[in-house]
Amino acid sequence: MTSPPIALTIAASDPSGGAGIQADLKAFSANGAYGTAVLTALTAQNTRGVTGIHAVPPAFVTEQLDTLFADVRVDAVKIGMLADAAIAAAVADALERHRPPYVVLDPVMVSTSGHRLLEADAVSVLRERLVPLADLITPNLPEAGDLLGTAAAKNRADAVEQARALLRAGARRVLLKGGHHTHDAQSVDILADAIDAADATAATGALGAGVTELSAPRVNTRNTHGTGCTLSSAIAALRPQHDDWNTAVRAAKDYLTGALRAADTLHVGHGHGPVHHFHQYWS
């Protein structure tokens, strides 16, 4: 029997189970990976919003990571909420020591309900230390603007340019999620690859070199809690099982679309409920 890949989430806890490490572990399992987790923070939250954050001391984040890597083979890492600059630096230090094969960084900054999840002074650590260590970063439109110190993209052309700007700023690959363009019938993400676009100004197609559009029908549901966590975790689980990033990202986006389509069957909470991580398996 072939051993399943082992995926690690470095993120915060969500008591409602829709986001954070709970969503990550569900997405790992649903996509054929064994899940492990290192906690960066505890949150008090539900489907209506976040009421409190209790950060884990950075030294203990380091101890969790070093203890895990000393014993367990880690095939892919997903990084989510890091809370503050000291925790972000501790994670960067550990990644530099242990060098896992694949790293997916979801730059979680603000919750769906508008609560700030990353302290402002941590954004520079994220940008300068973690972005260059990641094989793929998965910002949404506001997060990309935050990383670049500019406004969020308002249209597809601006999104492509911001994805390229993130490559020029040191990212290896960018999946810029277009879900905030809610007026569009399609949910279009931009996948930009620095390896395929060494000349960021080259135009070999409608979008230019190394840039691909990934489109799926927009799902009409208010239950979108944890979509970013779920997508990035699915990518981390699937990348060791596929030959390239493009295939893994497409498979993860298809999985998330199915999870959104089934989200209204769960009836969890009274706000923005979770997606259905196990939609392929539960009747």
pLDDT tens across 68-85, in order? 999 999 999 999 999 999
- Contact present, 43 and 111 (Cβ < 8 Å): no
The two tokens of residue 145 are 């603007």
The answer to whether residue 9 is catalytic is: no
Question: Among 179, 226, 258, 273, which one carries the catalytic annotation?
Answer: 226
Q: For the chain, which domains are there?
A: 6-265 (3.40.1190.20)
Question: Among 35, 47, 78, 177, which one carries the catalytic annotation?
Answer: 177
The answer to whether residue 226 is catalytic is: yes
Angstrom distance (rounded) from CA 138 to CA 24: 14
The answer to whether residue 47 is catalytic is: no
The answer to whether residue 228 is catalytic is: yes
**Distances in Å between the alpha carbon of 55 and those of 39, 42, 59, 88, 121?**
9, 6, 11, 11, 15
Question: Among 229, 230, 258, 273, which one carries the catalytic annotation?
Answer: 229
Question: Among 80, 178, 210, 228, which one carries the catalytic annotation?
Answer: 228
CB-count exposure of residue 92 (10 Å: 0-12, 13-18, 19+) = buried
Residue 203: its pLDDT value, please? 41
Question: Among 40, 47, 138, 227, which one carries the catalytic annotation?
Answer: 227
Please provide the DSSP assignment of 145-161 as one string.
HHHHTSPPP-SHHHHHH
In the three-class reduction of DSSP (H, G, I as helix; E, B as strand; rest coil), residue 110 is classed as: strand
Over its length of 283 residues, how does the chain's per-residue pLDDT go in tens digits?
589 999 999 999 999 999 999 999 999 999 999 999 999 999 999 999 999 999 999 999 999 999 999 999 999 999 999 999 999 999 999 999 999 999 999 998 876 666 667 877 888 999 999 999 999 999 999 999 999 999 999 888 899 999 999 999 999 999 999 865 556 678 889 999 976 654 444 444 445 568 999 988 889 999 999 999 999 999 999 999 999 999 999 999 999 999 999 999 999 999 999 999 999 999 7
Question: Among 9, 138, 224, 257, which one carries the catalytic annotation?
Answer: 224
The answer to whether residue 154 is catalytic is: no
- Contact present, 181 and 188 (Cβ < 8 Å): yes
Cβ count near 71 (within 10 Å) = 6
- Contact present, 159 and 176 (Cβ < 8 Å): yes
Residue 200: its pLDDT value, please? 45
The answer to whether residue 227 is catalytic is: yes
Residue 119: its pLDDT value, please? 76
Q: Which one-letter DSSP state was computed for residue 3? A: P
